[in-house]
Each structure stands twice: as C-alpha cells, then as structure tokens.
C-alpha cells in the first residue's frame, strides 16, 4: 500500500528540505586560490602520495595478525628489521609533512626535491578550515610521541642513539595511521577545490610488482 506521507527527494530539488541539502553540500574553499603556491602544493602532494604508498605496503605485510604471521614465515630476524624499517620510513615522512621546516634561504632546492610542510603550505592562505586540520595533525604529532622521537632521536642520530638497545619507535596502529592519512588526503582535496572527492588511503600497486606477488610467494612456502 502506498503511503502518501512518505516523500523522496533529491538534494538538487528546489523544494528539498534544508537538512537534506546540507547533507550533500560541500563548503566552498575559504581562501584565495591565487595565494596558493602550486609548486609547493605539488611537492606536498608528492610526499602525501609517497606516504600512502609506504602505508599500503606496510599494511599489506604487517597490517593484521595474519598478515604479520605470514610475513614472519620468511624469517623472524629479517622481517623484524623490515617491519621496523618500514614503520620508521612512515614516521619520517609524516614528521616531514607536519614539522615546520624553514625553507632554504639560498633557494637552491632542486626541482622535485623540495619538502614542504603542511604548515608552510597553508600559512599564506588564512584558511580557518585548513588551520583546524593542521591543529589536528600537530596534536597527533605531539601526543603520539612522534615529535619527541623526531627531535630527540632522529635529529641526533649519532653513535649514542645506535648504542641504545631500545631503539625507540612510537607505537602507531594501522587505524591511527590511516586516520591521519585520510585527514591529509581530505586537506589535499580541499586545497584543490575538490571537496566532493574522497581519496582512498591505499594506493594501487602494479600487478606482478606489488603485494600480489609477495602473497603468492608466501603461499608457496
């Protein structure tokens, strides 16, 4: 039986209720596009993509108990080093994204080698939305122990550090890393005025050169 009280509508309908329109409305960017340095944006985006690539591989190899156990079939000692090295790489890239590196004074940074932090990129824009996202990243950077690790360990990576048997690395779960990468991707879409777009954290790896080949090798053991 048809219920005349039930009504369906699209957000684009002129008579659509306000709450329906808001559900599908993406806020306009709150900065002037002309103030956004496109070269710095490209450098920042490249670093985010590289970080997502590292995370995809790390997640595939060590992202679950089963995946980790399978990887360790290749040798506990070797895979322990691989796992720590990959996590260190992810931590380093994230630190580079969030840490406010001062640009080189002489301007001799080669094209494609520039590292641009989130803060440096959005500072000229005066965007309340982006600044709020930056605060979330900075809060995580501090509370997770990454800031201390970067400043106290990596910044002084000398013989004393190598002799430290603990070799401290912040404990970051897959979910926590994924949440931070989602925030960075969301910010990138906003910077490119593509708020309607949702970017997956995991990147596509070429068939035969990615995790599929690795899993096939593990299955043959």
Residue range 88-139, pLDDT digits in tens: 889 888 988 887 655 444 444 455 456 788 999 999 999 999 999 999 999 9
Residue range 52-90, pLDDT digits in tens: 989 988 988 898 898 888 889 888 888 888 888 888 889
Phi, psi of 26 (to 5 degrees): -105, 130
Residue whose C-alpha is closest to residue 39's, from 92, 110, 101? 110
Residues 6 or more apart in contact with residue 211 via CB below 8 angstroms? 56, 57, 60, 61, 205
Q: What share of the chain is helix, strand, coil (3-state, %, to 5)?
A: 60, 0, 40
Up-side HSE of residue 66: CA atoms within 13 Å toward CB?
A: 2
Mean pLDDT of 176-194: 89
Phi, psi of 194 (to 5 degrees): -125, 50
How many Cβ atoms are within 10 Å of 180's Cβ, its own excluded?
24
What mean pLDDT, rounded, does the chain reach?
78
**pLDDT value of position 101:** 58
In this prediction the pTM is 0.74
Q: What is the DSSP letter of 104?
A: P
Q: Say yes or no to pLDDT of 203 above 60.
A: yes
- Sign, CA dihedral 55-59-62-65, equals positive
93 touches 50 (CB < 8 A): yes
């Amino acid at each position: 039986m048809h219920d005349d009280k039930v009504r369906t509508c699209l957000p684009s309908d002129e008579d659509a209720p306000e709450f329906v329109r808001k559900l599908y409305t993406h806020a306009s960017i709150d900065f002037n596009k002309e103030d956004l340095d496109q070269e710095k944006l490209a450098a920042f985006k490249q670093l985010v993509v590289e970080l997502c690539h590292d995370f995809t591989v790390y997640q595939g190899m060590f992202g679950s108990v089963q995946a980790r156990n399978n990887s360790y079939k290749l040798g506990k000692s070797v895979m322990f080093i691989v796992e720590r090295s990959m996590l260190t790489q992810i931590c380093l890239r994230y630190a580079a994204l969030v840490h406010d590196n001062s640009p080189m004074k002489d301007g001799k940074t080669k094209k494609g080698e520039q590292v641009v932090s989130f803060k440096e990129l959005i500072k000229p824009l005066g965007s309340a939305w982006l600044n709020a996202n930056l605060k979330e990243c900075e809060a995580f950077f501090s509370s997770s122990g990454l800031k201390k690790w970067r400043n106290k360990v990596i910044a002084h990576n000398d013989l004393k550090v190598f002799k430290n048997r603990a070799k401290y690395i912040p404990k970051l779960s897959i979910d926590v890393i994924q949440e931070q990468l989602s925030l960075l991707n969301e910010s990138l879409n906003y910077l490119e005025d593509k708020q309607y777009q949702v970017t997956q954290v995991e990147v596509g790896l070429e068939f035969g050169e990615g995790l599929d080949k690795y899993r096939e090798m593990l299955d043959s053991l």
